[in-house]
Amino acid sequence: MEVIKTDIEGVVIIEPRIFNDARGYFFESYSKREFDEKVGHVDFVQDNESCSTKGVMRGLHFQRPPFAQAKLVRCVKGAVLDVAVDIRKGSPTYGKHISCLLTEENHRQFFIPRGFAHGFAVLSDVAVFQYKCDNYYHPEADGGISITDPSLGIDWGIALEDAILSEKDTRHPLLADFDSPFEL
């Protein structure tokens, strides 16, 4: 696997080595040994999957400490624009984001460390999205910032007025009104 560093320390894009032939393709989607060596030690404990239709936006979510989660995400069907926003107080990149196009064709994965809010927008008719987490989900630790916050400057690839959001995701505060539980 190739690890591509981004402009925010710790957030990386992973490109697997794909073996194509007349039968199709094969790749290792995760190797603990290689991940630990190239990205860092992360003990993933839970895998999740969602299926969404075009225009769905999920996020920007995080789990508050001590239940914070690092995530390794990928799109196995369709295409999504995936985004990580730095919400660590004291970080030189606080409020900045990294986005990554994840598709069934490019097989890319996106690693989001603890201390980041995470979300995605579905660009294809249907998208199946998978992610590994290094901590179990705790509903009482749910947190979020507004996925439509204009101060973040995120180009989601879809018109916000056409976005399909959950009721919960419409209630998250703007970054300016947010008191982050994460310290750098």
In order along its 184 residues, the chain shows pLDDT tens digits of 999 999 999 999 999 999 999 999 999 999 999 999 999 999 999 999 999 999 999 999 999 999 999 999 999 999 999 999 999 999 999 999 999 999 999 999 999 999 999 999 999 999 999 999 999 999 999 999 999 999 999 999 999 999 999 999 999 999 999 999 999 8
Active site residue 41: no
Among candidate residues 61, 97, 107, 172, the one labeled active-site is: 61
**CB-side exposure of 30: number of CA atoms within 13 Å?**
17
- At 60 the three-state DSSP class reads strand
Query: Is 131 a residue of the active site?
Result: yes
- Output the pTM of the full model: 0.95
CA distance readout (Å), 121 to 5, 149, 155, 157, 175? 22, 14, 10, 8, 19
Measure Cα distances from 148 to 94, 166, 179 in Å. Answer: 17, 13, 18
The CATH homologous superfamily to which domain 45-178 belongs is Jelly Rolls (2.60.120.10)
Of 118, 131, 137, 172, which residue is the catalytic one? 131
